[in-house]
Amino acid sequence: MEILALKHLTFSYPGQEQKAIEDISMRIRSGDFVVLCGQSGCGKTTLLKLIKKELAPHGNLEGEILYCNKPLYKTDDRVSASEIGFVAQNPEGQIVTDKVWHELSFAMENLGYENSAISLRVGELANYFGITPWFRKQTQTLSGGQKQLLNLAAVMTVSPKILLLDEPTSQLDPIAAADFIATLQKINRELGTTILLAEHRLEELFPAADKVAVMENGRLIAYDSPRQVCMTLKNNPISAGFPSAVRIWQSLEGKNECPLTVKEGREYLEENFEPSLCNHVSRKSDFGIPFIQMSDIWFRYAKEEEDILRGADVTIHGGEIFCILGGNASGKSTLLKLIAGLRKAYRGKIEILGKSIQKYKNGGLYRHMVSMLPQDPQTVFVAGTVKEDLLDICGIMGFSKKESENKINELSDRLSIGRLLDRHPHDLSGGEQQKCALAKVLLTEPKILLLDEPTKGIDAYAKLSLKSVLAGLRDDGLCVVLVTHDVEFAAENADRCSLLFDGELLEALSPEQFFSSNNFYTTSASRMSRGIFQDTITAEAVIAAGRAQWKD
Amino acid sequence: MKHLENNAFSRFHPISLAVYFVAVMLITMFCPHPVILLLSLAGGILFSIRLTGTDAFAKDCRFYLPLFFLVTFTNPLFSHNGVTVLFFLNGKPITLEALMYGADLALMLFGVVFWSKCWGAVMTSDKLLFLFGKPFPRLSLVLSMSLRYIPLFKKKWQEIKDAQTALGCFSEGGFLSGIRSSTRIFSALVTWSFENTIDTGMSMSARGYGLKNRTSYSLFRLKRRDVFFILLTLALAASAVVGIATGALAYIFYPAASVPQDGSAILFYVLFGVLALLPFAEETREALTWRYLLSNI
Amino acid sequence: MERLTPKKAIGYSIILVLIPLFIAGGAFLLENRQYVWISLCIAVLACVPFFAVFEKKTADVRRMVVLAVLVALSVLGRFAFSFVPHFKPVTAIVILAGLYLGAESGFLCGALSAFLSNFFFGQGPWTPFQMLGWGIIGFFAGLFSKPLRKHLSLLLLYGGFAGAIFSLLMDVWTVLWLDGSFLFARYAALVAAALPVTAIYAASNLIFLLLLARPLGKKLDRIERKYGL
Ligand SMILES: Nc1ncnc2c1ncn2[C@@H]1O[C@H](COP(=O)(O)OP(=O)(O)OP(=O)(O)O)[C@@H](O)[C@H]1O
Ligand SMILES: Nc1ncnc2c1ncn2[C@@H]1O[C@H](COP(=O)(O)OP(=O)(O)OP(=O)(O)O)[C@@H](O)[C@H]1O
Ligand SMILES: [Mg+2]
Ligand SMILES: [Mg+2]
């Protein structure tokens, strides 16, 4: 049965010439798992919101949406509330009440369920999602992953027929993200719930999906089974964001079936290539002078709380991109805050360019020295438009008017945010905010650049431009510290990687050593090519090795 | 404050608790009889020690004792009623009765203060919201959201401040630049909170808020023990009202301090004493039971 | 018109008969403290109609959220500017809530802010009076929103007076509570003791109104346009 049908859907935001959605027609069958992907700003969020009528943004809408063959905007409120569930990108924004149990019962209260029915359902779901241990907790105290799980559970209480999810895993570490997707798959399989999910991290999703919808500039350019989409979009730049197996297959003149999972990718490599275990890659190993020296750092947020960092040691040099990985709540952001002088370790010493961090007075640390892109890009903006924000920081850095204009123009070209300059920062899509915040941080022209998850919510193309920006900075002798959950990006860009675990930074290794020795905290390219090629941890490396190793 | 959630008295149903606290506080506020006030203060202090420990009480004392004497000894400066003149100050009589009345006032003040402290510790926000939610469901939801937002915004405030500091846009040095920087961040916080919390509103409607026939769910169940407790409270409180109405609990300070000599007053003292000491007794009983049960393991 | 069900009839009779009886009985019983009793009852009951009206309104969720945000911000403002003692934007935000969201929202913002901030500063019999006091400040700001919005000077005047009068009235109640009648000497002493705090407080009202009035209005406008409130 067809649960949802879009017919020539077109939408534009008020006062915006460009259409956010343009002439989209698609049908979704009941029980399907559909993945929606495309560049950031292509209209994924807008499309999902249009399908949930209570969330439909203001603007000019043409075309029609049919839910179970009836116009969506005319369905009963009660039906829409209970049958269409929505989980948004930002887990925090959706939580309504202050207690976990109340959040779970909220939707059922609204629909007028009896107390006994609510008790039973809430109990059942809390068990299913493993929420029982924090059932009576304050919603505020939950971790990001727990919040996202709570959102999903809260929506599931009224047994929706279709679930809409907007980048639900963008803030989760790779392992938590995989768990979350597994839960979704379980719901899809066991309850027959239809799922429509927008995402940039597709590695785990393609194998799970029944259908993939690809959008570009508000248009739907492909809508088919994952394999079919990979075949048809073979030469499209959009495929840069596809799973590694697909990209490898596409670049190596893939024949036959396109592999989607690590297992299939491995089979494909084994069948078509001669194993070669000699090392081709050599990465930089001599770095400049030490920029950041941390020794034996201990930190906790409050006296009565637990230690977050327990004796972290590290030395990071100029001309180096240093990448810190680690699970949710392992203390990565905390570590960056310490380096940026925003918090003080209660024990241990941090030296910035050979000078103790406490000796920098009156904001001297932030004058062309250290600059940080925080985890939430929205905290960077203070003005009414992106341009004003950028000019503001130029003023503080003491650039002249002319200089400022030049710098802003050059940066906005490099990050392709030119058309966003006159918009309100909060009107941008998640990925666009990320890029604009980065621009503001880069304008401070620091010697040490700290980036907290700069790639979340941005598309493969933007990652490429970020890559070139970072490489440029490194070559200028800057020190870049990168915190990320994006193992693919780390593997491609880092000079050294380190895992933050149990409050300590484990020994920093080159990405090749780091990712080839990990089994779970690693890239799929590495898992796929292990034992076939040596130290090929990125799709590009596998492709390069493959080119040289064709069978016959 | 974690251990508070688990004490015996706060496990009563919110309605029982509210009835109890309101009864005790009203009697304390409106019955000026020193014996009643002393009993009330004793009950309040003992209960608050049970709740927050002796250390917190010692700290309170350091703050309240001077205040106690301040209220007692300044009252004669404001009030010159009374017949027993102790001495003259600036030509105005300072009377023993006014001094006694001052002490009585201080007793009442601190009785109410300590009971309010206990109320604050026991009536956590979810209990108040439950009480409020019956007659005013929409308001109680607004309160519940605000309660969630306060720590959230506090965290956001810190995050924005951090972000701006790391960009070199924040300085706390100096009064004016401190206020300017803080206002800048406050303004960013206001923008952030409006933009993001509208999402919350949307998420509420998305989950069916605003449909007719809303029910309200809670984890609180009225048990037999609660009903018994409410009846007991009401009976004891009624006895105090009878005492006030019949004049047995009357106490007159001016012009001369006098206690109505009535044997029945003793009965009223005892009954109110039981009421005021109920929470402390319940806590102690529970603690003893626990010790006994644990010794059996 | 809604039909009068037995349940409702009972409800109304409680309001119409029992409450006056309750107050009169209390006043009669408590001879020398009757003013305290009556004022306490009035403070509690005066809030009820505002709350009831809010309940009756058809659910406009977004307005509820905006109200919740303003309440939270006004409570939080105390922490944000804690580096200057007694310097807090509560009254300013309550006034602005009345100004931009209407008299009723102004009242609610004030009353709820008082209620919530006492979670952190201690609940007690003074809570209903603070609720009523701040509520009324927001309410009148809403009633006179037209002139107040037009002339910044009027707004500042209102803000300064509202803050001062609020403190003065709270002291009146403290005196009433202590003595059962109004003792002027005690009142004067209280006011004198609180004078520096009241002065900082009034000044902070002015400063925050000056700093926040325009931007907050702009932000609310933007939200209104973006989401079509
Ligand atoms: N409230 C708004 N007002 C005006 N324009 C908007 C608004 N929200 C989004 N847009 C614009 O509409 C386009 C589509 O945005 P949308 O949020 O749907 O993108 P997206 O595909 O979800 O991107 P991302 O992957 O970065 O989240 C973008 O160009 C964005 O700037
Ligand atoms: N301001 C704060 N006050 C108290 N505890 C905090 C604060 N910020 C973070 N924490 C706690 O410190 C721990 C580490 O948090 P941190 O944000 O550094 O983790 P992270 O590694 O960056 O996680 P994520 O990958 O989810 O961003 C968490 O348990 C968190 O709850
Ligand atoms: Mg999006
Ligand atoms: Mg982090």
**Helix crossing, A262-272 with A539-548: angle to 10°?**
20
B contacts of C38 (beta carbons < 8 Å):
none
Cross-chain CB nearest to A55 (options B155, B202, B208): B202
- Mean pLDDT, range A267-288, rounded to an integer: 75
Q: Could you report the per-residue pLDDT of C54-82, keeping only the tens digit for each?
A: 888 765 788 888 899 999 998 888 777 77
Place of tokens 């999910």: A197
CA distance from start to end of chain A: 48
Residue B191: which of B157, B242, B230 has the closest Cα?
B157
Chain A CA closest to residue C219: A384
CB-based burial of residue A197 (10 Å sphere; 0-12 exposed, 13-18 middle, 19+ buried)? buried
Of A48-57, A212-221, A453-462, B214-223, the poorest mean pLDDT is in B214-223
Q: Check CB contact of A424 with chain C, cutoff 8 Å.
A: yes
Q: How far apart are CA B16 and CA B32, in angstroms?
A: 25
What is the per-residue pLDDT for A122? 93
Query: Which atom belonging to ligand 2 lies closest to the Cα atom of A326?
Result: 21
* Nearest chain A Cα distance for residue B285, angstroms: 26
Q: Tell me, what DSSP letter sits at residue C114? A: H
Q: Any idea how long chain C is? A: 229
The yes-or-no verdict on residue A422 having pLDDT over 50 is yes
B contacts of C212 (beta carbons < 8 Å):
187
Q: Which residue has the higher pLDDT, C39 or C108?
A: C108
Q: Could you report the per-residue pLDDT of B104-162, keeping only the tens digit for each?
A: 888 988 898 899 888 888 888 778 888 888 788 888 888 888 888 888 899 899 999 99
Residue A170: which of A487, A497, A453, A464 has the closest Cα?
A453
ω into residue B255 within 30 of 0, thus cis? yes
Cross-chain CB nearest to C228 (options A58, A424, A427): A58
pTM: 0.86
CATH 3.40.50.300 residue window(s) in chain A: 2-225, 290-524
Give chains near B: 3+ CB pairs under 8 A: A, C
The yes-or-no verdict on residue B2 having pLDDT over 70 is no
| Domain coordinates in residue numbering, chain B | 4-129+221-295, 135-206
Instruction: Note the ipTM here.
Output: 0.89
Separation in Å, CA B259 to CA B111, B241, B249, B250, B265: 21, 18, 9, 7, 10
The yes-or-no verdict on residue A544 having pLDDT over 50 is yes
Contact A427 C222 (CB under 8 A): no
* Nearest chain C Cα distance for residue A374, angstroms: 20
Q: Whose CA is nearest to atom 5 of ligand 2?
A: A301
Other CB atoms within a 10 A radius of the CB of residue B71 amount to 19
The yes-or-no verdict on residue B178 having pLDDT over 80 is no
The yes-or-no verdict on residue B170 having pLDDT over 90 is no
Q: Check CB contact of A303 with chain C, cutoff 8 Å.
A: no
A331 lines ligand 2 (CB under 6 A): yes
Q: Which of A128-132, A186-190, B48-52 has the highest mean pLDDT?
A: A186-190
- Mean pLDDT, range A501-506, rounded to an integer: 91
Place of tokens 């002249």: A400
The yes-or-no verdict on residue C121 having pLDDT over 60 is yes
- A495 close to A320: Cβ distance less than 8 angstroms: yes
- Mean pLDDT, range C161-174, rounded to an integer: 84
Residue A152: which of A193, A98, A212, A110 has the closest Cα?
A193
Q: Could you report the per-residue pLDDT of C1-27, keeping only the tens digit for each?
A: 456 677 777 777 777 777 777 777 777
Contact C37 B30 (CB under 8 A): yes
For residue A293 the two structure tokens come to: 């020296």
Chain A CA closest to residue C61: A54
A41 lines ligand 1 (CB under 6 A): yes
Contact A81 B208 (CB under 8 A): yes
Q: What are phi and psi of A166, to 5 degrees?
A: -110, 105
A16 lines ligand 1 (CB under 6 A): yes
Q: Tell me, what DSSP letter sits at residue A56? A: P
Q: Any idea how long chain A is? A: 552
Query: Which atom belonging to ligand 1 lies closest to the Cα atom of A200?
Result: 25
What is the per-residue pLDDT for C4? 65
| Residue B107, Ramachandran bin (φ over 0: left; ψ between -120 and 50: alpha; else beta) | alpha
Separation in Å, CA B144 to CA A196, B134, B216, C67, C98: 31, 14, 13, 12, 21
Query: Which atom belonging to ligand 1 lies closest to the Cα atom of A44?
Result: 21
Q: How far apart are CA A484 and CA A373, in angstroms?
A: 12
Q: What are phi and psi of A196, to 5 degrees?
A: -125, 120
CATH number for the region A2-225 comes to 3.40.50.300
Q: Whose CA is nearest to atom 27 of ligand 1?
A: A430
Q: In chain B, what percentage of residues exceed pLDDT 70?
A: 95
Give the model's confidence band at A196: pLDDT under 50 very low, under 70 low, under 90 confident, else very high: very high
Homologous superfamily (CATH) of A290-524 is P-loop containing nucleotide triphosphate hydrolases (3.40.50.300)
A333 lines ligand 2 (CB under 6 A): yes
The yes-or-no verdict on residue B252 having pLDDT over 80 is no
For residue C113 the two structure tokens come to: 């802010």
Please name the residues in contact with C203: beta carbons below 8 A apart, sequence gap of 6 or more: none
The yes-or-no verdict on residue A216 having pLDDT over 70 is yes
Give the model's confidence band at B260: pLDDT under 50 very low, under 70 low, under 90 confident, else very high: low
**Which residue ranges form the domains of chain C, and what is each CATH number?**
6-227 (1.10.1760.20)
Sheet holding A347-352, edge to edge: A309-317, A290-299, A347-352, A355-356
- Mean pLDDT, range A477-490, rounded to an integer: 92
